A and B are shown apart, each in its own frame.
Chain A
Amino acid sequence: QKEVEQDPGPLSVPEGAIVSLNCTYSNSAFQYFMWYRQYSRKGPELLMYTYSSGNKEDGRFTAQVDKSSKYISLFIRDSQPSDSATYLCAMRNSGGYQKVTFGIGTKLQVIP
């Protein structure tokens, strides 16, 4: 079993839809949870991060972490064609030099 599982998609939605992206993980020591966005032919860029369980909202984006279920989500409201990208979840233990483990990424296409 991979440490982080993520459906690779692709996921196609119409413009304006609410998008739900999810990851599950097996390592209960993970404390930091992140979402990266990667456009085609570009490097990943940090979109959101949360520490431990809870919700975090930033504009149209909401990140949720449920540590009891080992499940994290990213919601995108009012999706736009410019949101079309691959979304990678990532997580790591607490501490300074712990490595970050990435999901395989979900490819999202928002159709105008």
Chain B
Amino acid sequence: DTAVSQTPKYLVTQMGNDKSIKCEQNLGHDTMYWYKQDSKKFLKIMFSYNNKELIINETVPNRFSPKSPDKAHLNLHINSLELGDSAVYFCASSPTSSGQAGNTIYFGEGSWLTVV
């Protein structure tokens, strides 16, 4: 069973298009995230949701809009794609407690987005 699954794994699209990446976790976690890993492999948080509520929103263009229909799903919609959006986008989840379990972030396999 895949704990955090995201689709599609690979996406090639033209500038100006709108695209979505879907994410689901079956771990029963309350917190979900979107991370971006750029060409230099730097992994940066974009958004974090806890029980469908936005709790972290880093400096991300408003062309990026996350949506959490329930606590097991966190989708990422990107409008008007630009060349600089090409990166790997990772969905992740974690429990909400601040103890040991709260430190473990489980990542999906990543979605490779290429904008041409």
Contact = CB atoms under 8 A, between A and B. Distances in A.
Interface of A: 8, 32, 34, 41-46, 49, 86, 88, 92, 94-97, 99-100, 102, 104-105
B104 interface: yes
B107 A45 contact: yes
Contacts of A49: 100, 103-104
Interface in B62-116: 90, 92, 96-98, 100, 102-110
Interface string B27-52: 00001000000001111110010100
A102 B103 contact: no
Contact of B109 (A42, A94, A99, A105): A42
Given A97-B48, A102-B44, A43 B110 contact: yes
Contacts of A34: 103
B39 to A, nearest CB: 12
Contacts of B90: 43-44
A25 B13 CA distance: 37
A99 B47 CA distance: 10
B12 interface: no
A44 B33 CA distance: 13
Contacts of B98: 94-96
A-B residue pairs, 3 tightest by C-beta: A43-B107, A102-B43, A96-B98
Contacts of A104: 40-42
Contacts of A46: 103-106
Nearest to A49: B103
B89 to A, nearest CB: 11
Contact of B103 (A32, A42, A44): A32
